[in-house]
Structure 1
Amino acid sequence: MSWFIYALKNYLNFSDRARRKEYWMFFLFYMIFVFVFAFLDTALGKANSMEEALDLEGLFSPIYAIAMLIPSIAVTVRRLHDTNRSGWWILISLVPVIGILVLVFFTVLNSDEGFNRFGRSPKAEPAF
């Protein structure tokens, strides 16, 4: 959970690097909260089914998705920086299917060792 909070605290940081652990722990807790809010939408009658809530047709799910838009983009850009790629590579996710697969591949890659054009390796120093 501390990695999720750390990513939220850096929600406007588009220039540094993010380790794989930071990115994937953020993603894990993001998805857990998506299901929690979808369940709340369904339980409180704001959505007719869990599928509707996951399609952002409830009350809490869309609010959460909007609130997490900038932090999720920021942590993805920082993750791309850690693999020595420009943050603009995030736009490849707009290409159906193949773009998402390429982006996932980039986020799974190991970090650049040491120093790259986006700064020092986050593995060299503790995050918190």
Structure 2
Amino acid sequence: MNWYLKVLNQYVDFKGRARRKEYWMFTLVSTLISWIISFFIIFFEAPEFGIIESLYSLGVLLPSIAVGVRRMHDVGKSGWYLLIPIYTI
């Protein structure tokens, strides 16, 4: 959980490096939180959680990009490499 909070605290830090554990622990916790919210939407038929899921997704968008850029720096690449999947569409 400390890795997740560390990424959230560094949400505008696009310089530096993010180790493999930091990146993957943030991804894991973020995915689990999204799944839990989706579980409530599907199994309890609570569509009001859809707003919460959208707000959560928007809330972690910038930290996700920042940790991705820092991870690319750690492997010796530019952060612009994150745009390659968008270009191939």
Give the TM-score normalised by the residue count of structure 2: 0.89
Q: Which runs of 5+ in 1 are unaligned?
A: 48-52, 97-128
Correspondence 1:48-87 to 2 at 5 A: 58-87=50-79
Match of 1:17 in 2: 17
Q: Which amino acid aligns with 1:46?
A: P
Q: Percent identity?
A: 40
Offset of residue 69 of structure 1: 0.4
- Residue deviations 1:38-93, cap 9 Å, x none? 1223325207xxxxx8xxxx222111111110000000000000011110101012
What is the root-mean-square deviation in Å for CA atoms of aligned residues? 1.6
Q: Which runs of 5+ in 2 are unaligned?
A: none
Match of 1:46 in 2: 47
| More helix, by proportion | 2
In structure 2, how many angstroms separate the alpha carbons of the residues matched to 1:38 and 1:60?
Answer: 10
What is the aligned length? 87
Q: Note if 1:30 corresponds to 2:30.
A: yes
Match of 1:106 in 2: none
In structure 2, how many angstroms separate the alpha carbons of the residues matched to 1:44 and 1:82?
Answer: 42
Asked if structure 2 preserves the Cα contact closer than 8 Å seen for 1:41 and 1:61, the reply is no
Q: Which amino acid aligns with 1:66?
A: L
In structure 1, how many angstroms separate the alpha carbons of the residues matched to 2:25 and 2:46?
Answer: 30
In structure 2, how many angstroms separate the alpha carbons of the residues matched to 1:44 and 1:60?
Answer: 14
Instruction: State the structure with more CA Rg.
Output: 1
Higher alpha-carbon deviation: 34-43 or 72-81: 34-43
